[in-house]
Amino acid sequence: MAVTAVPVFSQTPKTWYASPVTAYAATGAASLLDDNPSNTILLITAGTNGALVQNISVIPRATNTAHVMSLFLSKDSGTTKKLLSQVVVAAQTLTTTVAQVEYAFTSATETAPLRLEAADRLYVGLSVTQSNGINVIGKSVDL
């Protein structure tokens, strides 16, 4: 984005989603211990002038086991992914009378949005494989 005295306003609101199923490795190659964890899924790509991420929520699609949902930042189109944030998701049993619990990453909120540079990407991944996947929804605005 060119330097200018003109204020920058949000341009395009976006809603993104991903549903990871397979867990990333906890140790060794292609794990949280290096910068290329396996089995991560693209959630958000910032626009030409960057983006403000206002919310990233997690909700199980079905009965699930306890796990950690991880959020990764990539500044090079996904080649390198740095661990940015995590949220613990408790085990839940799907029923017709109890709603699934929704979780949120605290690193992106309406009052304190996560600022992304042009073309930055956010990826998500699971610490434990979930047979029905977990829905992750991101809300952002391009600048």
Q: Within a domain: residue 138?
A: no
Sign for the CA dihedral angle at 80, 83, 86, 90 comes to positive
CATH code where residue 127 lies: 2.60.120
> Would you state the structure tokens that stand for residue 75, as one six-digit string?
């500044």
Give the total number of structural domains in the chain: 1
Q: What is the pLDDT along the chain (143 residues), one digit of tens a residue?
A: 556 655 566 678 899 999 999 999 877 777 877 788 999 999 999 999 899 999 999 999 999 999 999 999 999 999 999 999 999 999 999 999 989 999 999 999 999 999 999 999 999 999 999 999 999 999 999 98
Q: Within a domain: residue 64?
A: yes
Q: Provide the 3-class DSSP secondary structure of residue 68.
A: strand
Query: What residue numbers bound the domain in which 39 lies?
Result: 12-132
8 A C-beta contact, residue 59 and residue 135: yes
Q: What is the pTM of this model?
A: 0.90
Q: Within a domain: residue 54?
A: yes
Q: Within a domain: residue 101?
A: yes
